Structures are given as structure tokens and as C-alpha cells.
Amino acid sequence: MPQTGADLIVDALADAGVSHIFSLSGNQILPVYNTLIGRDIRLIHTRHEAAAVHMADAWGRLTEQPGIALVPAGPGHGNTIGALYVAQMAESPVVLLSGHCPAVQVGHGAFQETDQVATAAPVTKASWQVAHPDQIASDITAAMAIATTGRPGPVHLSLPFDMLEADIAGMRQEPGHHVLAVAPDMPDTVMNLLLGHLQEAKRPIILAGPAMSRPTRFQALTELAGQIHMPVLIMESPRGLNDPFLRYAPACLAEADLVLLVGKKLDFSLKFGQPPFFNVSCDFIKIDAEPETVYKGQRAVIHIHADPVASIQHLIKAARSRSWPMSTWPDEVTTACRKSPESWVNIRHASRQPIHPLLVCDALQPHLNAGGILISDGGEFGQWAQAALETPIRLINGPAGAIGGAIPAALSAKLVHPDHPVFVTTGDGAFGYHTMEMDTALRYDIPIIVIVGNDARWNAEYQLQRALYGADRIYESELRPIRYDHVVAALGGYGECVEHPEDLSPALQRAVESGRPACINVSIEGAAAPVFN
């Protein structure tokens, strides 16, 4: 058989160690499907293109290797834009491969012809169309490198149909022309100045961006923090300083005299560094893989253009030769980060209906203690889960603030960690986005347990309308109390409805023991997200 452009794609992915591709089929990518037959790459066929990108996103976050999504042209590609934005804000390495109309038909009204490069550009690190079949392999390699270099993020590559089918026999393989921007190393002089600032500070703190929460990066970050006796907080929630996972720790920031931003922008999530959230005399130093961008009215920041991961590793070595004063400051921040509100005691002792979200979390925590993975989604119910649940491996919706991607993310998490149970906590509104990915779970035998906090409304918007406009101005926030467990059971999964607190733990246990994709539909109180102040 002749070797085609599609063969080059699959060969390049296989050579890079790719084991899974998340996809939805369509006309323009069928040559790749045909080439994947018999290859050692597993194709997971989703029910929506956005779900494929959410799965690739979760794969990238959990493995620190590019997650690969493959979708058809036009509307199929268009369906990925929101999910790409989620991956961009979460700093997740993703490569989106989009089918495209034949290159020879561009500009002649081809079927599903759109400017895919332009539509993906605002939500990716790089976006381009393969220019010639002999550049396919090098373009794939470049896309994967760009996705993981510096600040990780999604990359888009459009694949014209005629290039996928082209016979490449005798073609000379030409490299692409995509420049990989690599952040420089931190100069020794700058490193010594930085260490000097850190030594002089009385209450320094590290605030790190989403990418620094990944396993190997976070390990290096915590090693540095322990060595120089500084607390560290990961900023990965759209609620920023109101992230419920941080509990009371953000209140400590007003006492900090130096903030080291590691791969973290001084953006909306940090209130742009302004009082009263930060002291006016507090200094900010940022280590970032991207060059400095200054906006009008932005607080002064010492910007170090360098790769954050390499910089942290070099700082660890350099800091060993210095003495670091001990203080109670790190313990103060850590204690604030894990302190529970006194009001939680009364909630836990009140067996009321509908069930309070905190009681759902209490029933789930033992399963997480036994090795469970948490995927948290949704508005207010998701915030309760993030505040009350702890586990070494968790994914949240990320700084984009989008909801609905938890089910596909959970499927990816289960593929990465097949020996760990994977639990999803999601509101009923968020569950509706990708319900049919429970069919994907069943087709590929990927048992995840989805806990739907069902308060029959868009509770985040309900609470916002109530706070901003008054209780008599709440508009179009209601949903129906649907039996989502019946929906999943109808697909062939396990479903159960819980209305009493004492039934939570037994229902969760039955879902785990079923060995099937499961949905526990819990009738919850429409409680506002927890507030820590």
C-alpha cells in the first residue's frame, strides 16, 4: 500500500509515545482513522468534539505530556473552541488536530470550509495549517514541543484532506518553519539578587500558576518552599483569592511583604495585587516563561523572563549554600489553608432534607482516602467539593470558569490511573453538558462514579442574582428535578437516587462495587458556596 500523509501523522504520534487519541469522527479525518487500524494507539471516540478536547486537556494535566484531540472540519472544529479556552487558561498541553477541506479547494466554496487557523488562534499558543504533505511529520513534532515548552498550553494544527490522502512516496521530508520560543535561563546575577530578596523578607509567599500544580512541577516547588521556609499556594481557581480550597489562607496575603509569582500572572484572580488584598508596601517578583506585558495601572512587578521549572530547580541548588531564618509564618499560612469554619460542625450534626452539600463530601471523603481521584465541576456544589474534599490527585474546571467538562475529564483520568477509582462531583446544570459521554464510558468500559448535586437550578447564577439584585429579581435560574440516575441507567450504567443523608455512604459503595459507569443523583440543598473571611 502507498504511504500517505495520514501515515506520517500516526507515525509521528507513535514515535512521540502517544498512546491515546480522543476524537469524534468526520469526513475529513477518516484517512487517519483508517491508518490507526492495527496501530498501537488507542482511539477513544467521544459523542462531542468539545469532550474530546476536555479529555485531551485532562490527559495533559495529569501526565504533563500532550493530550491529542482529533476532530473533523468546520462545525466539528468550531465545537472545540470553548474547550480549548479551558485548556489554555489551565495551562494544559493539548494538541488539536482538525480535519480541513482539501487545500486545492480553499477559496472555492468547499464543503465545511472555514478559517480554522484564525478561529483557534486566540485560544492557543500557536495555530497553523499544514502547507505541504512533506511537512506533516515535522509539524506534528513542532506542535507537541510548543504545547509543552515554557508556559504549557494548547496548539492547533489543521490537516487538509488532500494532504492526508496524498501518496508521499519519493517526497523529500521537509522541516516545518515554526519557531519554538524557549525562555532563557535565569542568569546567576539575577538568581543571587532574588535569593537576597527572599532572605531579607519576613513574610514571603510563593503564588504559583496552574501548570505548577502538575506532579513533577509541584514536587520541585514544595522542595524549594521547604528549603527556604516559605509557604506556597497554587492559584488555579476562577474564584482566585476566593478559591474555597484555600479556605482562610488568602487573608494572610495582606500580611506578606514579598510575593514570588511562579508562572503566575498578576491578573484578576489576584485582584491585580491591589489593597486591601495585598499590603501597599508588598513587593512582587515574577518568574515567567513569557516576556513581560505591562498594562496601564498595573502594580509594579520585578519581572524575570525565564523558564519557571528550570528556575525553581536552579534556585533549589543555589539556596542550599545559604542559611535561611526559621519563622512561624509558613505554619500560619498552612493552618489557615486547612482550618474549617465553626459553622460546619452544626451542618454535620443536622440530618436535614434536602441534603446539605457538606454531607455529600463527608460521605465521599473515605473513598478518596482509599486512593480515589476527584474531578470537581459545577458552580456552588463544585465549590463545596473543592473546599471540603482532599485527595492527592484532583482536577477542577480551572481559571476559565467554564463548567461541564468533568465527565470527559474523568474518563481520561481513569485511563491514566486505571487502578484508582475516579469520582466526579458535579452540579445538575454542569452534568447536562456532556451527559452522553456516559455512553462513551460504557462503550470503552471506563467505570467512573458521577455524583450529581441536584438542587434543580443554576445555583451559582441564582446566588449572584440574589446578591446583586435582590430575592425578588431572580430570573430563569430554575431547572427540573430530573432523575439523572435514570438517564445513566437507561444507557446501561448504574444509577441510584439519594434523598436521605444516611443513604449516601451505602449508595456510593454500591456504585463502586457495580464496576460500571455510575450516577448517584443526590437531592441537595441549594446552599451558596462556602465563604471564608
pLDDT in tens, 306-345: 999 999 999 999 999 999 988 999 999 999 999 999 999 9
Assess whether pLDDT exceeds 70 at residue 12: yes
With beta carbons less than 8 A apart as the criterion, state whether 357 and 529 touch: no
pLDDT category of residue 505 using cuts at 50, 70 and 90? very high
Burial code of 457-494, b = ≥16 C-beta within 10 A, e = fewer?
A: bbbbbbbebeeeeeeeebeebeeeeebbbebbbebebb
Asked if the bond preceding 506 is cis, omega within 30° of 0, the reply is no
The whole-number average pLDDT for the span 372-378 is 95
Q: What is the mean pLDDT of the chain?
A: 94
Residue 181's CB: how many other CB atoms inside 10 A? 13
C-alpha torsion 501→507→508→509, nearest 10: 130
Range 509-520 average pLDDT: 98
Tell me what pLDDT residue 174 has: 65
Q: What percent of the chain has pLDDT above 70?
A: 97
pLDDT at 158: 97
pLDDT single digits (tens) 23-58: 999 999 999 999 999 999 999 999 999 999 999 999
Binned at pLDDT 50, 70 and 90, residue 171 comes out as: low
As a three-state string, the secondary structure of 6-31 is HHHHHHHHHHCCCCEEEECCCHHHHH
Check whether the bond before 276 is cis (ω within 30° of 0): yes
Predicted confidence at residue 37, as pLDDT, reads 96
C-alpha span between 8 and 133 (Å, rounded): 9
Residue 298: pLDDT over 80: no
User: How confident is the model over 243-275, as pLDDT tens digits?
Assistant: 999 999 999 999 999 999 999 999 999 999 999
**How confident is the model at residue 172, as a pLDDT?**
61
Within 10 Å of residue 213's Cβ, how many Cβ atoms? 20
What pLDDT score does 25 carry?
96
What's the confidence (pLDDT) of residue 291? 86
**Rounded-to-integer distance, Cα 143 and Cα 156, Å:** 7
Tens of pLDDT, residue by residue over 438-453, are 999 999 999 999 999 9
pLDDT surpassing 70 at residue 1? no
Distance of CA 209 to the CA centre of its chain: 12
| 117's grid cell | 487557523
CA-to-CA distance for 251 and 242, rounded, in angstroms? 10
500/508 Cα distance (integer angstroms): 13
DSSP codes joined into one string, 52-112: HHHHHHHHHHHHSS-EEEEE-STHHHHTTHHHHHHHHHTT--EEEEEEE--GGGTTTT-TT
Cα radius of gyration rounded to whole Å, the chain: 24
- Give the chain's domains with CATH numbers: 5-165 (3.40.50.970), 188-338 (3.40.50.1220), 343-523 (3.40.50.970)
8 A C-beta contact, residue 318 and residue 187 = no
- Residue range 99-114: average pLDDT? 85
Give the pLDDT mean for 274-279.
94
pLDDT on residue 183 = 85
